[in-house]
Amino acid sequence: MTPECGCEENQRAAVTRRGLLAATGAGLAGATLDTSLAFAAEPGYSGDVLVLLSLRGGFDGLSAVVPAGDPAYYTARPSIGVPKSQLIGGDAFFGLNPALSPLLPLWTGGQLAAIQAVGQPAPNRSHFAAMEDLERAAPGTSIRTGWLNRMLGTNGSREVFQAVAMGTAMPARVLGGPAPYLGVTSIDKTVLNGEQDGRPISATMTRLYESAPAALKRTAGQLTGALEYAAQLRAKGYTPANGAAYPNTDLGAALKDVARLIKTRAGLMTATVDSGDWDMHENLGTAVAGRRMFDQLRALATGLAAFAADLGAEHLRRVTLITISEFGRRVAQNGSGGLDHGYGNAMFVLGGNVKGGKVYGTWPGLATAQLRDGDLAVTTDYRAVIGEILRARCGVSDTAAVFPGVAAAKLGIVTAR
């Protein structure tokens, strides 16, 4: 068994009362639909569905988007560096790990891009603290809401399925705040805790709040409405389109359910999905099947490729998926053939309006004098990247309301609406 890092990764902030009542961690099940809710075929929100894929544990961007043109990379990683001869895609300087080959058609087709040397404004090698900073995204302020919740607030939507943490009953703090959101472990396994035959808790809730003040009635209605909509989806069943074959993993199941919600036009504005086990302090391995990093990247690529295929061109053109991680890994491998916690990292952006097939960002170099305490330096703030996407694709004109004190980047990574 491979030992895991002593820092506990799976921490979650408490959800707000409104977020809880708006249907969260208890799970969901079919129930009576509140007639005040409607699931329109064309909801009012016209921006992209923003899918946030969190690579938890500290993703090694240098193994995924390899700076083969920097000789210091191979000096620092004599046994785990990915040889130039194995790289795919990329350009004259960067190349992609061969494990990402399922994504190569999206890269060459211009729907997948990467950003290198991206990260938080200051190093933080604690999983819990770094993830909290990443999801709150407001260092130096008293703001405690998550940045995705603030994004929801700028658009003012109140659709019951406007924001979903898919695959977990306890949404991450990135969704924490006053705007309603859902925590859904699975569309087909959506149950309300305690709901049994002969004990219709959701129906009881509807009766209980029938004469309640409007604000409370609406909150309860969002819960029962979500239950009913999930029941409708479950009854209808789902077969991925275009021959998409999702891997039999938690990530594959979550991405399939997100695609399902996108295609039913349930009013989804954003969805979060988690992918864990990136904390590879030892035995990261070479770039061949059966090695830890290769197999992890292959599973990630297979899931994302299936997600894109399932959506097809029609739906992918209104979706932007981004990957984030709390920090990168050290440039130099350690004595156990792995990588300790670092700083600068790589992000991926996938979508129908991504200007893909390119690595964006400013490369700082890997020579000793160019490192930040032995780590890849950060030259692009991750918030600026997301801010550019929010402005160009999600209709957020005031990105400072989401990321205070940070100007949106001008990378040109996506086509503006």
CATH, residue 298: 3.40.720
Q: How many domains does the chain have?
A: 1
Does any domain span residue 111? yes
Residues 6 or more apart whose Cβ sits within 8 Å of residue 160: 22, 23, 37, 39, 180, 182, 222, 225, 226, 229, 267
The per-residue pLDDT for range 102-114, each reduced to its tens digit, is 999 999 999 999 9
What do you get for the CA distance between the two ends of the chain, in Å? Answer: 49
Mean pLDDT (whole number) for 293-319? 98
How far is it, in rounded angstroms, from Cα 229 to Cα 248?
25
Which residues have a Cβ under 8 Å from the Cβ of 373 and sit 6 or more positions away?
123, 343
Decide if pLDDT at 30 tops 50: no
Q: How far apart are CA 61 and CA 67, in angstroms?
A: 10
Q: Which domain holds residue 123?
A: 36-186+247-401
Does residue 13 lie within any of the structural domains?
no
Give backbone dihedrals phi and psi of 400, rounded to 5 degrees, phi first.
-65, -25
Percent of the chain surpassing pLDDT 90:
71
Give the contacts of 364 (CB within 8 A, at least 6 positions apart): 117, 344, 370, 376, 377, 379
Mean predicted confidence (pLDDT) in 194-201: 68
Which band of pLDDT confidence, cut at 50, 70 and 90, is reported for residue 38? very low
pLDDT tens column, 136-149: 999 999 999 999 99
Lowest mean pLDDT among 57-61, 178-182, 220-224, 311-315: 220-224
The verdict on residue 26 lying in a domain is: no
Q: Where residue 192 falls among pLDDT bands split at 50, 70, 90?
A: low
Asked if residue 14 is part of any domain, the answer here is no
Question: Degrees (nearest 5) of the Cα angle 346, 349, 351?
Answer: 170
User: For residue 363, what pLDDT is reported?
Assistant: 98
| Residue 383 within a domain | yes
Rounded-to-integer distance, Cα 321 and Cα 309, Å: 14
Tokens 């594959």 belong to 252
Q: Assess if residue 407 is contained within a domain.
A: no
Helix boundaries (H) for 109-213: 127-136, 147-155, 201-208
What pLDDT, on the 0 to 100 scale, is given for residue 296? 98
Taking phi first (over 0 means left), then psi (-120 to 50 degrees means alpha), and beta for anything else, what does residue 405 get? left
Lowest mean pLDDT: which of 10-14, 95-99, 206-210, 316-320? 10-14
Residue 40: is its pLDDT beyond 90?
Answer: no
| 274 or 41, greater pLDDT | 274
Cβ distance 310 to 244 under 8 Å? yes
**Residue 303 falls within a domain, yes or no?**
yes
Which carries the bigger pLDDT value, residue 326 or residue 195? 326
Asked whether residue 238 is domain-assigned, the answer is no
**Which segments within 239-325 are labelled E, that is strand?**
270-275, 319-324
**Mean of pLDDT values over 257-265:** 93
